[in-house]
Chain A
């Protein structure tokens, strides 16, 4: 029996701007098991990024708690490895120095981290690029570099916000295969935001649908298909229709 690693309890969040209140999230409850791959899916603007910002301590929820390993981490930072929507590699740092950013911030052992990063470069398809600047890399490579930077922060949970959103279909498919292979090797718990239903079903142990106004979790779907998953599989198509229905009927 796997243990609950992260608990999101009763999160509520309103955007406030010039006295106007825009309710974004309401009654968000979600438990994530250790080693689980959870995809959060929802229309754009539904608050997926906002939820992640709350998770990593960048935003303060109006209500609710984030519990990691039994410890309340609401509004505190540096517990969850966060990969924002854009790769946000620093153009003035060579790839290796970008990878070590998190370790640098936490004043960790840079020498050991460098060694570890070097060991992981091939797995992330970045061998030979340690001394390149981000500008010299393709989109897929940049994304993998950003992911490696996230992994190297050594947190057990990776929160990835639409990591493959900006990639072309072919690169995207490769990256999906690849992320499954590294999850197995690195033994991480992954929270993965996407607005692509097929991507969610291809990757996740569990798909969580976030929508409504304000958004709340309207469906949780356990994907019981062995990897690698085929888009043409009957079960896959059933899942897809189930999610599609749920996503479209609460739009208005």
Chain B
């Protein structure tokens, strides 16, 4: 794979340095058959250092996951060799099925097929609270 010549896929740029691996895992990229290139600690005028992920494949990319794990990242959507869309992502207001509630008294710990859902309650402090029990998410 020539990392600069993606035909159909994504280039996730401006990932805070050190976050690419977590993104790789949470996006489930290891389960994909398509080529994925990761660039760590690239030079960035704006950020000093940054990570970049290039995905050569048409998948349903979860923008919530990217926004949550790498706020400020830019997602470039490439279709038929051209840049279709470029979006800078911020922390999503709602986060469903991405992180799990750690409160053992929460209904999401026992109810079948109930994806954990969180709401951003403080953007500045990056606080997410469980929609069900309202517990603060602690990493």
A binds B: no
Which residues of B approach A to under 8 Å, CB–CB? none
